[in-house]
Chain A
Amino acid sequence: MLRYTINRLLLMIPTLFGVAVLVFVLLRLMPGDIVELRYLMDGGQISPEVLAQERARLGLDKPIWEQFVDWMTGIFVGDFGVSMWTGRPVWEEISSRFQLSFQVAVMATILATLIAIPLGTLAALFKDTWVDRLIQVFAIAGLAVPSFWLGMLIILSLLLAFNWIPPLTFKPIYEDPWYNLSQLIWPALAVGYRYSAVATRMTRSTILEVLQEDYIRTARAKGVFERLVISRHAMKNAMLPVVTVIGLEFAFLIGGLVVTEQVFNLNGIGKLFVETVTRKDYTMVQALVMLVATFFIVINFIVDLLYAALDPRIRYR
């Protein structure tokens, strides 16, 4: 297990290097230029000399390979550089948004898990009954409705019903819990609904599959209480794919709430992603992609480790 863990950790290095090369090259293939955008977007009358000075200041006049070497050298010493747009350190920009995105992801995950596992289990236990059909309708609707659209509906409903919208600026939960929750519960609901729909369907199908297994029939034949059969034997085994889904969805939520964050005006990683790509802020986009890629890799790794915890038969070598 230890050897497996070390191997997986080492494998992260070439994976992240591959991501770094890919994002660096792809960004520079995109048309446009941050300097032109910054100074000409509002119609400024800027001379070509000033634009050239700015490019030099940002290091964009250097050959591409040199820019890549500079960036990689920085990464190895833990310096991701400064945002080309704001001039502030990249990690400062990201960390100020990360807390919000992380909290929404955690809240949506808790919400989705609390909804999905009981509903998925009920649907499986009452297969082909009205209970199952009702839950299926709920789940399919969740898959069909985009989170941002649901978010828009939530905002408009709040506006029409109470002439109120969630707060526009963020305060950490430890500073002002009520304010914080009144801002973030709504996006968590909007995102959590779709998330719970995926997990509900997965829970239902894996429990149905597990319920057909021999060991379940054996447990029932031995006279084990049905509640114990479900909770101890069926649920535990059925959770493996559900954990995978929850893990991947969680990683996605960190940088993937692009439109939902805009709808709720949340100052999170998703919104930052869109803004930096639009601005051609290479250093910021590179750092964000690396962050999200690292998050996915780490979450996958944790999920793999959880497999072993959930199913004693699984042992990694």
Chain B
Amino acid sequence: MSKFAVSAALTAAIALLPAIADAQTPKRGGELRFAVSAEPPDYDCHAATSFAFIHPVRPHYNTLLKFDPANYPKVVGDLAESWEQSADGLTYTFKLKQNVKFHDGTPMTSEDVKASYERIRNPQGGARSIRQAVYEDIESIETPDEYTVVFKLKKPNASMLTNFASPWDCIYSAAKLKEDPKFPERNILGTGPFKFVEHAAGSHWVGERFEDYHVEGRPYLDRYRAIFITNTAARVNALQAGEVLSEFRGHSPADRDKLVAALGDKVEVLESPWICSLVVTFNTEKKPFDDARVRRALSLAIDRWQGAEALSKIALVRHVGGILRPGYELAATDKELEQFPGFGRDINAAREEAKKLLAEAGVKDLSFKLMNRNVAMPYTPVGVYLIDQWRQIGVTVEHDQPETSAYISNLRSGNFEAGLDFHCDAVDDPNLQLAKFVSANRSPINYSRANDPKLDELYEAQKGELDAEKRKQILREFERHALTEAYNIPVVWWHRIIVNWKQIKGWHMSPSHYLNQDLQDVWLDQ
């Protein structure tokens, strides 16, 4: 290469540097339009369970802690400036930021944090809270000064810090709660980066920048508009036409491919394992599912490794995992998983063992109904796959997909033989994920109706174990026992696919569709 060519290349590179740097410098302004496939019924974080709530409402609020958007699962302060955990794990002391205001201009203090958490753990005056159990270990909440909050626990809880970063625990104004404990149900008054502008029922939700937001220079966006689009095809069309720039829950592989084919490099595809799994639940009060050998045989018949790979081409599932999300620091590794019943790599040997177990249990020509949710993605393809897997050990299964309401009602009332259940959480946390597997008499979401004291003991042991390595060992023991008894058997974990227009910057992918939705750092490159 001649000196001239080198010099010209260098000059061009130097000339481009400001442009490159400029492209990465956040720009203020603009309206972020995104689709949400459902709509929140009311405005109260403490009684909400759905992403349909988080996506439009979360930008109005802050929580005590939150997950670092770019480094999940690292916990960072949101309203808390710093925090300390006592050596015995019984005291958590939070120092709050001092320049935080609610959208009505009143300052946020420790009283607001206390009032909000008291409302979550012990709602009064007709207020609703659905996370009382999460905070049952809290003994008291103290506010030694305006900007310090101290949580005292009855016993150590290894998940407590994670709990304080929950996206559902919005901090409300103590004054407003005192006036009316139900105030947040129909009103938005937070400290978050965006003020509430409008909720047009059935249509859209608008928020605009809170100029007094406590983080310097944030948010970047002037406003955001969440548009409720329930129909999947309409959502994809809106994204393709640029009417919305994202849909933050997730797309199917087919929709991703369609959008990429149509929009090429105008869009960015982000993918991640998802904290959602599909679990087959056997009704242990119905024969022959009261026999562990039958349940285990049905688990052994499923080729999860091949199935996950094949299903990932047509459905939003991809990962083989046990009780905890594969990839999570406390989850079983592939090697460990392979030791559990139903997770071995040799499917032929597993199916032979399954047939033997059925013969030992005296079960011949087994046939039953698999109740599945009447939602195409990912329930239907996984249900069909399971039926085919069980057919290969001579079991005949009928696919029954009642509408969602009847499906939930049947699961709860025990009106099913086997059901394809789901388990989604906002965060990776054993206390949350194990709830599907502990005894039914203590967990309302274990629909197998089985009670197993050993699992309950192990659950309590891991919950109070502050040493991560020791906790991991207890979790493996729990997992082995749960998968051997096979009351509920994990089949496959979901895979989250997001297609964003490239103008969207500062939004980070996470394994949960409930996280990273405060839009504080999001900006538009336009």
A170 to B204 Cα, complex, angstroms? 10
CB–CB A31/B201 < 8 A = no
CB–CB B238/A165 < 8 A = yes
Q: Which of A27-47 contact B (CB under 8 A)?
A: 30-34, 36-47
CB–CB B201/A43 < 8 A = no
Q: Which of B13-21, B111-119, B156-164, B417-425 contacts A (4 or more CB under 8 A)?
A: B417-425
Question: Counting CB contacts under 8 A, is A164 at the interface?
Answer: yes
CB–CB A86/B201 < 8 A = yes
Q: Which of A14-22, A129-137, A246-254, A264-272 contacts B (4 or more CB under 8 A)?
A: A264-272
CB–CB B237/A43 < 8 A = no
CB–CB A159/B237 < 8 A = yes
* Chain B contacts for A167, CB-based, 8 A: 243
Question: Counting CB contacts under 8 A, is B327 at the interface?
Answer: no
**A277 CB, min distance to chain B CBs, angstroms:** 9
B443 (CB) vs chain A CBs: closest residue: A45
When each residue 208-240 of chain B gets 1 if its CB lies under 8 Å from chain A and 0 otherwise, what string results? 000000000000000000011111011001101
Q: Which of B386-415 contact A (CB under 8 A)?
A: 402-406, 408-410, 412
B40 (CB) vs chain A CBs: closest residue: A86
Contact partner of A265 (CB less than 8 A), chosen from B130, B186, B231, is: B231
Question: Counting CB contacts under 8 A, is B444 at the interface?
Answer: yes
Query: What is the number of residues of chain B that contact chain A, defined by CB distance less than 8 Å?
Result: 50
A48 to B340 Cα, complex, angstroms? 33
CB–CB A46/B424 < 8 A = no
Question: Counting CB contacts under 8 A, is A88 at the interface?
Answer: yes
Q: Which of A85-128 contact B (CB under 8 A)?
A: 85-88, 92-93, 96-97
A86 to B243 Cα, complex, angstroms? 27
User: Given the known A-B contacts A41-B404, A88-B201, A170-B203, are A33 and B409 also in contact in the complex, defined by CB atoms under 8 Å?
Assistant: yes
Question: Counting CB contacts under 8 A, is B107 at the interface?
Answer: no
**B5 CB, min distance to chain A CBs, angstroms:** 40
CB–CB A271/B230 < 8 A = yes
B276 (CB) vs chain A CBs: closest residue: A43
CB–CB B234/A45 < 8 A = no
A47 to B244 Cα, complex, angstroms? 37
A36 to B413 Cα, complex, angstroms? 11
* Chain B contacts for A165, CB-based, 8 A: 237-238, 241, 243
A34 to B128 Cα, complex, angstroms? 16
Question: Counting CB contacts under 8 A, is A163 at the interface?
Answer: yes
CB–CB B409/A32 < 8 A = yes
Contact partner of B422 (CB less than 8 A), chosen from A38, A43, A50, A156, is: A43
* Chain B contacts for A57, CB-based, 8 A: 126
Question: Counting CB contacts under 8 A, is B464 at the interface?
Answer: no
CB–CB A42/B49 < 8 A = yes
* Chain B contacts for A87, CB-based, 8 A: 41-42, 185-186
Q: Which of B8-56 contact A (CB under 8 A)?
A: 41-42, 49-51
When each residue 237-262 of chain B gets 1 if its CB lies under 8 Å from chain A and 0 otherwise, what string results? 11011111000000000000000000
A85 to B50 Cα, complex, angstroms? 14
CB–CB A96/B409 < 8 A = no
When each residue 419-441 of chain B gets 1 if its CB lies under 8 Å from chain A and 0 otherwise, what string results? 00011110000001001000000
CB–CB B227/A168 < 8 A = yes
When each residue 34-76 of chain A gets 1 if its CB lies under 8 Å from chain B and 0 otherwise, what string results? 1011111111111110100110010000000000000000000
CB–CB A50/B201 < 8 A = no
* Chain A contacts for B229, CB-based, 8 A: 168, 265
**B280 CB, min distance to chain A CBs, angstroms:** 15
**A37 CB, min distance to chain B CBs, angstroms:** 5
Question: Counting CB contacts under 8 A, is B6 at the interface?
Answer: no
Contact partner of B234 (CB less than 8 A), chosen from A33, A36, A43, A263, is: A263
**A176 CB, min distance to chain B CBs, angstroms:** 15
A265 to B33 Cα, complex, angstroms? 15
Contact partner of B233 (CB less than 8 A), chosen from A33, A54, A263, is: A263
* Chain A contacts for B234, CB-based, 8 A: 155, 262-265
Q: Which of A153-194 contact B (CB under 8 A)?
A: 155-156, 159, 163-165, 167-170
Most chain-A Cβ atoms within 10 A of its Cβ — which of B231, B237, B403? B237
* Chain B contacts for A34, CB-based, 8 A: 405
**B267 CB, min distance to chain A CBs, angstroms:** 13
A133 to B490 Cα, complex, angstroms? 61
**B186 CB, min distance to chain A CBs, angstroms:** 7
User: Given the known A-B contacts A38-B41, A96-B202, are A31 and B231 also in contact in the complex, defined by CB atoms under 8 Å?
Assistant: no
**B202 CB, min distance to chain A CBs, angstroms:** 4
A31 to B410 Cα, complex, angstroms? 9
A168 to B230 Cα, complex, angstroms? 12
Question: Counting CB contacts under 8 A, is B133 at the interface?
Answer: yes
* Chain A contacts for B126, CB-based, 8 A: 57
CB–CB B230/A262 < 8 A = yes
* Chain A contacts for B128, CB-based, 8 A: 50, 53-54
A57 (CB) vs chain B CBs: closest residue: B126
Contact partner of A46 (CB less than 8 A), chosen from B204, B243, B402, B444, is: B444
Besides A43-B422, A43-B424, A87-B42, 5 new A-B residue pairs in contact (Cβ under 8 A), listed by A number? A43-B425, A87-B185, A165-B238, A262-B231, A263-B231
Which B residues form the contact surface with A (CB < 8 A)? 41-42, 49-51, 126, 128-130, 132-133, 185-186, 200-204, 227-231, 233-234, 237-238, 240-244, 402-406, 408-410, 412, 422-425, 432, 435, 443-445
Q: Could you jot down 27 A-B contacts, CB within 8 Å? A: A31-B405, A31-B409, A31-B410, A32-B409, A33-B408, A36-B408, A36-B409, A38-B41, A39-B130, A43-B423, A43-B445, A47-B444, A50-B128, A50-B130, A87-B185, A88-B201, A92-B201, A93-B201, A159-B241, A163-B242, A168-B243, A169-B204, A265-B227, A267-B200, A271-B230, A275-B202, A279-B405
Which A residues form the contact surface with B (CB < 8 A)? 30-34, 36-48, 50, 53-54, 57, 85-88, 92-93, 96-97, 152, 155-156, 159, 163-165, 167-170, 262-265, 267, 271-272, 275, 278-280
**The 7 A-B residue pairs with the shortest CB-CB distance in the complex, in nearest-first order:** A32-B405, A44-B49, A31-B406, A267-B202, A262-B231, A165-B241, A267-B203
